Amino acid sequence: MNIEFHDSLDAAKSRLVARVVEQDKLPDDLPTTIAQGAEASRFKGKTGQVFEGFHEADGKVVRLALVGAGKKKDAGRMAALEKAGAALTAKYLTSGEEALAIDFASSGLDAEEAAAVLLGARLRSWRWDTYRTKMRDEQKRTLKTVHAVGAAEGTDAAWEDAQAVAKGVEFTRELVAEPANVIYPQSFVERCQERFKGTGVEIQVLDEDEMRTLGMGALLGVGQGSRRDSKLLVIKWMGGKASEKPTLFVGKGVTFDTGGISLKPPGGMEDMKWDMGGAGAVAGAMLALAGRKAKANIVGVCGLVENMPDGNAQRPGDIVTSMSGQTIEVINTDAEGRLVLCDALTWVQKEFSPKTVVDLATLTGAMMIALGHEHGGVFSNDDKLADNLLAAGKASGDKLWRFPLAPEYDKLIDSPIADMKNVGPRWAGSITAAQYLQRFIEDGVNWAHCDIAGMVWADKPGATWGKGATGYGARLIDRFVRDSVEG
């Protein structure tokens, strides 16, 4: 979707006009038909509520929509404004209208607030229609442009920043939405190489021979049943001071997860194309950071594998040696994400000696049982890091909830014949997965693990996304970097 700026409605040349209104405060200058129609329809201006009507102006019929932004003093004001913009797009995306003018002139919104409305409109407009060849006219996306009219001074600059974030979220959604025959380790790398051209980002790729030399037996064990080679993708944005150590984000990138020999039930297995949602979030966030020229040194690393069953696949009971030298008894080949992450985490610590490492992964079904599709879970060995991530989640809308780490859980993954098992008992499954990862974190490194299993895909539309890929994680990382690394 294109966003264009104009000084007047005449310049926008759109027959569909929208105004953003506060709850319980309808503007005094509304046409009579609109004001009375809104009252009769019980339109109160609640967040995301939309009313539309028609009125005549200068001999033309104008389609006027009112969208509610809630109460100005309520907490979560920016999120409410995003929802307002998104509600307009949701209503008119397939309406037959090609353009929507949002009249900011009398809205009282400052530049950041107006940009939030535009961001919500842009995010809600994303759909992945690449493979849809037959759609009825009423299903086809028609809305192409939003005209921002009379916005406060500086809104265009604020939008440039927000647009970079939108592009990052859209890239995450694209990677997650693509089927596994299109996005697999090599093509994931190629898609990123293409998208990051001209951004100032440096990309490095480790192939299987390089990883084997480094001793990444855990990661390589996951992919050995696939004809697709595994990859380790490294995306570097060094926009900060040369003397500053980079902050690391590591994403689980299982481009398809059958469960391996511990085969998943067939019902719903097609959803496992999004088991690379952590890697998708990291890649999208890196695009956003590069796009807005973040003043920070950030490295994103994606462990990319495909977990398939064949005659060469690893078996339950196999023992693999990780890059750290620790040995792992593979009890369940469907607990593969932690095997990928442990080697990726070891590599980034040895390569960059970072102070802070955050990993994101669609790691456990137990997290969905605990939190549903409302929050991701966060585990951390550092209270300040956890608090900063929780705050970033609240500010960005990519919400998190903290879970415990404790020695009492750690013993649940001890193995009688190796250093550890890759799964514990039925209980506390998300916690034991985090305890497993913590065994690969070196002393002095501040680390957090975000289990985002319930967040990267939605079976029904949300406020700023449609059904399907949500883009979760990209904004979380961007906000964390803004507030805790750049700030």
173 is catalytic: no
Torsion angles phi and psi, residue 422, rounded to 5 = -90, -5
For residue 482, give the DSSP letter.
I
Torsion angles phi and psi, residue 55, rounded to 5 = -150, 165
How many whole angstroms separate alpha carbon 259 and alpha carbon 264?
Answer: 5
Q: Where are the alpha helices (DSSP H) in 248-376?
A: 277-291, 337-352, 365-371
Q: Is the separation of the CB atoms in 203 and 235 below 8 Å?
A: yes
Torsion angles phi and psi, residue 18, rounded to 5 = -125, 150
Q: Which of 338, 421, 475, 479 is catalytic?
A: 338
Q: At what angle do helices 185-195 and 155-177 cross, to 10 degrees?
A: 160
- Give 260's Cβ-side CA count (13 Å radius): 25
How many whole angstroms separate alpha carbon 47 and alpha carbon 102?
Answer: 16
How many whole angstroms separate alpha carbon 64 and alpha carbon 43?
Answer: 14
212 is catalytic: no
The H or E element that residue 391 is part of is helix 383-396
Q: Which of 264, 355, 399, 439 is catalytic?
A: 264
Q: How far is CA 120 from CA 96, 281, 397, 466, 471, in A?
A: 20, 18, 12, 12, 13
- Give 355's Cβ-side CA count (13 Å radius): 8
How many whole angstroms separate alpha carbon 254 and alpha carbon 233?
Answer: 13
The residues near 320 (Cβ < 8 Å, ≥ 6 apart) are 217, 218, 221, 314, 327, 328, 330, 339
Tell me which residues are annotated as active site: 264, 338
